[in-house]
Structure 1
Amino acid sequence: MASTKRQQQEDLIIDLQGSKILEWLLDRKKLPQHWKRNSPAVRKLIDDAIKVAPPIKQQHQSLTADDLNYLICQDILQDYLSAPNGSSKTLFGSYSNPATQKWSDIIKAYQKDSLHIGDLCQQFTQAINYDVPNLKKTIEKSLKSLDDYNKREQELNKSKTASQNMLKKACQDLGIQGDSIRDEIIVLPKSLETMFGEVIKQLNNGDMIKIISFYQEVIKATSVELKDEILPLTNMLVKNGNITLAEREAILDPAYRPPASAQSNSQQQTSTDASTGTGGGINWDIDLVDETPVDVAVQEIKWDEDFSVIDTSNTTDQILDDFSMMEAIEIVDESQSPALVSSSEPVAVVADLSADNGAPVSESRKKANENPNESILGDRQLRNLFLDELYELEMFLKHRTAEMQAPEHVFGIDQLSIESTNLEQCKTYLKTITSIIAALTNHKIKHVLEIKSSKKYIDRLVLQFSQKQFNIAKNTQLIVDLDTKRQEANHTLLDSRKKLEQLTKDTRQLKSRLEKLLEEILDGKQANIMIPNVF
């Protein structure tokens, strides 16, 4: 008996798939195929009713005609019926209140051809098939976007920090603040004298003289015959400091007459050089005005009795037969040349007729005449020569240290009778040489020397700094844009969640009211609308 009742109850319940409920009703002819034909007329009635009899409740007043459906119109009618004299009728059965009558006519128009059921089924299907899934996808997309924005922000911050560190390191390497890149780079060569002064200070700490003396002792002990002075440029820098090229030339050749500009600048800087120890403090005591006229225009030069005469008054287009520049070198008697008598540095003599007396001058003499105020360490060739001598000392001290540390020797300097330097002193000397080399070859001084010699290098450095600054500005702007996108994604996420929550609530209410309305066309059977995996 109980099973029979249960079977009867189950027969009274019809399960309907919510996503296809409208198709199910049409296929079983529970709804007429022309159920939508009254829809335009109903829309017109709603437009007229809103103008004459607007909704009473405030929550309905903000809705437009397109937002109203059968259920909302039914709620509005109930509001008018609940109002004073809203439910009174005439003798003919119509409502005496015109507003109530208009909304009553709308409800009757909806019920014709079951338009209200078809319209609600369509609205329900739209919600569960499209609106709810789209809002869920929007929420998922917003969450993914926020996660991507966070990761991207970390990458941009990392890149920005790296660019800032690179810019800071580049500024530190050059010794600039980075406020005005080009102006600060242009004035960097003025700091060269200070850098060279530090090098000269290390040369004058007392160890360099001992190092050179130790090196000379070893050279003499090996019975090696040397024609030239050992480490001539290093000796000159130790004795005289970082003097100018003109001062150096005057030391090499006492008969040398420096240019007038060099003499005046030297006299002005005498007191400064004496206080800093970077100059030689040479008193030239030379009268530059020579009252004896000198015939500068040399017409003929006799190279040898077998050589032909070269007339310098002829045009430069004349061709010398079987002669090259190497054959035009004059053989100079070293005993009569003061510049070559000095053993401070081997000097190559090249034919140059630009001297005052027409005699050939050395390459160092040409440099001293062209740029007399340049210092020794400021000249690339002399600076490299000084570094070569330092590397020579460094290699010698490394070998000497290794031989002193070796437990047994087959042959080495230790077998020589030299006891002036022990292992600890040798290590100290090596440390001094390494420090001087580092001071002349560090990153900053290389840049400053290149800046001094090349304007294009300045442009290239400025361009590199500009690129680093551009990368920082670019990453900063990208972070700002990313923050704007994050705010938009957060707004979209919050808005979508609110809409989904409201839509879910409205759809659940629509489901329960639609199930009651379906009983009218299902012959009294109860409808169960199934909507799995939607809410």
Structure 2
Amino acid sequence: MSSQNNMENLPIDIHYNKLLDWLISRRHCSQQWQSTALTIREKINLAIQDMPPVEEITKLLQGTYINYFHCKKIADLLKSTDSGAKNIFGQYSSQKMKDWQEILKLYEKDGVYLAEAAQLLTRNVNYEIPALKKQIGKCQQIQTEGERKESEYISNAAKLKKEYNDTCKQMGIEGKKIKSELATLVRDMPSVFDKLAKKSKGLEGAVQYYSAFMDFIMNRSDLGASAVPMLRYVQQKGSTTTYEWQTGHKPSQVIESAINIDTADEVDKTADTGDIDWGDIGTGEEVDYAADIDFDISEVSVEGVGIETVDGGEEVGTGGNIDWGTGEVTKSDQSSSKEGVAQGENALSLLDNPKTRNLFVDDLSELECFLAQRLVELGGEGDVLSGSHSQSAPASIQVDVTKVTEMLEAVRAITTELTSVQMHHLMLIRNSPRYVDRLTDTLKQKLQLADKMVFYQKQSVAKRNQALEEQRDLEPKLDVIIQRTKELQKQMQKEISKKYKDRPVNIMGEINTI
């Protein structure tokens, strides 16, 4: 007797995935239950069309699939309304109650409600709940990715705008109307060259020091006078025309080549032009907006070592290390200009003409190298003027370190100004006005990419907010289906327990971890 009682108290453990097979194998429901379930489902769909406005009934009809236990609850709630009234024969007079009573009878016949509930449990645990969790996880991933992309787009936009501003600063322009500002700088180049020529007069002391030192070291009196000839000429006469340097007299007429830079209809590049349509990207697909964008814009670089092609197919360096050429120009070169008329290359000033400018820069480099070497010698023990040489050396070359340093700094200042990035670009524009178009396009591309980054950043924020909104909609649905699934699990355990003299029933598996 005791062992029989123990058997009755042993729990019945059923895995949720095998619950339906377990019920069929023990004849608690029929294998053909689905055909009856379809009929029941049609009757439920018709019955819910005409329901009284009872709050509890409304809640039951929302959220999840309506099963037998919901129907039973609805019938109980209807009993407390006018629909629950009975006639003198003890039958319900309301068609609503008759419909739901019929549904319950169909459910209970052959245990259809048990089979349907078992299938619903399996479907919720294996498919519905994981699908919702996966979708919520995807929404969270989109938000995380959106925050990362948003940060990248903001960073890239700031980087591109900084590059644009830095480039404009190096070129000496504000960057609002690039062509107009560059055209103004090009027109001001003659005055810039005149200022440099005047500054070169401040190097007379350095030139005399160099000449006197050469004469003393070589023991000659005429060698130093021939050193740095172009620098000496510019110091004496300024940046004259090439014609005057070649012929020795000023031209009666100077015919300069016009510099045509088309600035018509140029708009402010930095003005806010509103939102730009970068195409339809609101397709809902995951798009890496930065994947096709190359932020390394070096086609026309103020710091790179690129190659630019100017008019006529000539290639010139565009980097900071400027190649001033190796051509030699002498005063014996003959011009195709008419007598007294300076035109073409001969009409250019010495510092504007690439060939004569090379000679000027070469002289500056020669003087710079000499002064730099003298500083090294004066700071060490290898000075050629030390010992017996110092007694015979003239006073003009016995210069201290401080004076030589001042001379060297003055030479380097003029060299730096003449060979700066800004000057280099202006000379390229001076020789090829079409170069300004390519330079403008490159700078404009930086701003366009910056605008595109701002656009993508806004799209990323919109997409992230959309994912957040979707997550907020899905989470309550997930909570409801989990709650209803757990309720259905308990209801099923209770129903099965009734069939086995109230033995404990446990539905096992992942259903207990949802």
TM value normalised by structure 2: 0.76
> Residue 83 of structure 2 contacts residue 97 of structure 2 at CA under 8 Å; is this kept in 1?
no
Cα gap change, 1:410 to 1:234, in 2 (>3 Å): closer
Which of 394, 413, 425 pairs up with 1:418? 394
In the TM superposition, 1:296-315 aligns within 5 A as none
Partner of 1:347: 331
AA aligned opposite 2:402 = E
Give SS of 2:33's match. Answer: coil
> Residue 156 of structure 1 contacts residue 475 of structure 1 at CA under 8 Å; is this kept in 2?
yes
Supply the distance in 1 between the matched residues of 2:175 and 2:57 (Cα, whole angstroms). Answer: 65
AA aligned opposite 2:395 = E
Query: What are the superposed Cα offsets for residues 223-271 of structure 1, whole Å, 9 maximum, x if unpaired?
Result: 3444974333222322333334455567x23xx6522769xxxxxxxxx
Alignment of 1:209 onto 2:204: yes
AA aligned opposite 1:31 = C
Give SS of 1:187's match. Answer: helix
Matched-pair identity in %: 24
What's the CA shift for 1:499? Answer: 1.9
Question: Mean alpha-carbon deviation: is it higher for 111-120 or for 57-66?
Answer: 57-66
Alignment of 1:74 onto 2:72: yes
In the TM superposition, 1:15-414 aligns within 5 A as 15-51=13-49, 53-58=50-55, 60-61=57-58, 63=61, 67-84=65-82, 86-91=84-89, 93-204=90-201, 206=202, 208-221=203-216, 222-224=218-220, 225-226=222-223, 229-245=226-242, 248=245, 252-253=248-249, 257-259=251-253, 346-350=330-334, 355-356=338-339, 368-370=342-344, 374-409=348-383
AA aligned opposite 1:431 = E
What's the CA shift for 1:426? Answer: 0.6
Give SS of 2:125's match. Answer: helix
Supply the distance in 2 between the matched residues of 1:178 and 1:496 (Cα, whole angstroms). Answer: 50
Give SS of 1:455's match. Answer: coil
Alignment of 1:436 onto 2:414: yes
Query: What are the superposed Cα offsets for residues 46-101 of structure 1, whole Å, 9 maximum, x if unpaired?
Result: 244334x414424544848994322222122112211257242442x421233222
Supply the distance in 2 between the matched residues of 1:433 and 1:103 (Cα, whole angstroms). Answer: 105
Cα gap change, 1:188 to 1:77, in 2 (>3 Å): same
Partner of 2:299: none
Partner of 1:274: none
Give SS of 2:84's match. Answer: coil
AA aligned opposite 1:130 = Y
> Residue 173 of structure 1 contacts residue 443 of structure 1 at CA under 8 Å; is this kept in 2?
yes
Partner of 2:424: 446
- How big is the alpha-carbon RMSD for the aligned residues of Structure 1 and Structure 2? 3.1
What's the CA shift for 1:126? Answer: 1.1
What's the CA shift for 1:390? Answer: 0.6
What's the CA shift for 1:527? Answer: 2.1
Supply the distance in 1 between the matched residues of 2:104 and 2:28 (Cα, whole angstroms). Answer: 20
> Residue 375 of structure 2 contacts residue 404 of structure 2 at CA under 8 Å; is this kept in 1?
yes
Alignment of 1:534 onto 2:513: yes
Supply the distance in 2 between the matched residues of 1:219 and 1:192 (Cα, whole angstroms). Answer: 35
> Residue 394 of structure 1 contacts residue 430 of structure 1 at CA under 8 Å; is this kept in 2?
yes
Supply the distance in 2 between the matched residues of 1:509 and 1:30 (Cα, whole angstroms). Answer: 21
What's the CA shift for 1:448? Answer: 0.7
Supply the distance in 2 between the matched residues of 1:6 and 1:384 (Cα, whole angstroms). Answer: 114
> Residue 56 of structure 1 contacts residue 80 of structure 1 at CA under 8 Å; is this kept in 2?
no
What's the CA shift for 1:27? Answer: 2.7
Cα gap change, 1:203 to 1:516, in 2 (>3 Å): same
Supply the distance in 2 between the matched residues of 1:57 and 1:240 (Cα, whole angstroms). Answer: 106
Give SS of 2:12's match. Answer: strand
What's the CA shift for 1:143? Answer: 2.6
Cα gap change, 1:257 to 1:102, in 2 (>3 Å): closer
Supply the distance in 2 between the matched residues of 1:246 and 1:65 (Cα, whole angstroms). Answer: 94
Cα gap change, 1:386 to 1:454, in 2 (>3 Å): same
Cα gap change, 1:504 to 1:64, in 2 (>3 Å): closer
Supply the distance in 1 between the matched residues of 2:254 and 2:502 (Cα, whole angstroms). Answer: 125
AA aligned opposite 2:54 = K
Give SS of 1:376's match. Answer: coil
What's the CA shift for 1:179? Answer: 2.1
Question: Which runs of 5 or more residues in structure 1 are unaligned?
Answer: 263-344, 357-364
AA aligned opposite 1:145 = I
Partner of 1:314: none
Q: Provide the aligned length of Structure 1 versus Structure 2.
A: 434
AA aligned opposite 1:457 = Y
> Residue 258 of structure 1 contacts residue 372 of structure 1 at CA under 8 Å; is this kept in 2?
no
What's the CA shift for 1:167? Answer: 1.0
Supply the distance in 2 between the matched residues of 1:84 and 1:517 (Cα, whole angstroms). Answer: 30
> Residue 259 of structure 1 contacts residue 372 of structure 1 at CA under 8 Å; is this kept in 2?
no
Supply the distance in 2 between the matched residues of 1:354 and 1:138 (Cα, whole angstroms). Answer: 81
Partner of 1:294: none
Alignment of 1:488 onto 2:466: yes
AA aligned opposite 1:36 = Q
> Residue 361 of structure 2 contacts residue 415 of structure 2 at CA under 8 Å; is this kept in 1?
yes
Supply the distance in 2 between the matched residues of 1:354 and 1:410 (Cα, whole angstroms). Answer: 49
Supply the distance in 1 between the matched residues of 2:384 and 2:251 (Cα, whole angstroms). Answer: 55
AA aligned opposite 2:352 = G
> Residue 246 of structure 2 contacts residue 332 of structure 2 at CA under 8 Å; is this kept in 1?
no
> Residue 128 of structure 1 contacts residue 534 of structure 1 at CA under 8 Å; is this kept in 2?
no
Supply the distance in 1 between the matched residues of 2:489 and 2:383 (Cα, whole angstroms). Answer: 103
Supply the distance in 2 between the matched residues of 1:443 and 1:177 (Cα, whole angstroms). Answer: 16
What's the CA shift for 1:447? Answer: 0.6
> Residue 511 of structure 1 contacts residue 529 of structure 1 at CA under 8 Å; is this kept in 2?
yes
What's the CA shift for 1:5? Answer: 8.1
Partner of 2:270: none
Question: Mean alpha-carbon deviation: is it higher for 79-88 or for 483-492?
Answer: 79-88
Query: What are the superposed Cα offsets for residues 445-485 of structure 1, whole Å, 9 maximum, x if unpaired?
Result: 00111111113322221221132123212222221222122
Alignment of 1:498 onto 2:476: yes
TM value normalised by structure 1: 0.73
Supply the distance in 2 between the matched residues of 1:25 and 1:187 (Cα, whole angstroms). Answer: 93
Rg larger in structure? 1
Partner of 1:342: none
Question: Which runs of 5 or more residues in structure 2 are unaligned?
Answer: 257-328
Supply the distance in 2 between the matched residues of 1:465 and 1:387 (Cα, whole angstroms). Answer: 29
Supply the distance in 1 between the matched residues of 2:420 and 2:336 (Cα, whole angstroms). Answer: 40
Partner of 1:325: none
Supply the distance in 1 between the matched residues of 2:164 and 2:422 (Cα, whole angstroms). Answer: 14
Partner of 2:276: none
> Residue 245 of structure 2 contacts residue 331 of structure 2 at CA under 8 Å; is this kept in 1?
no
Supply the distance in 1 between the matched residues of 2:193 and 2:496 (Cα, whole angstroms). Answer: 101
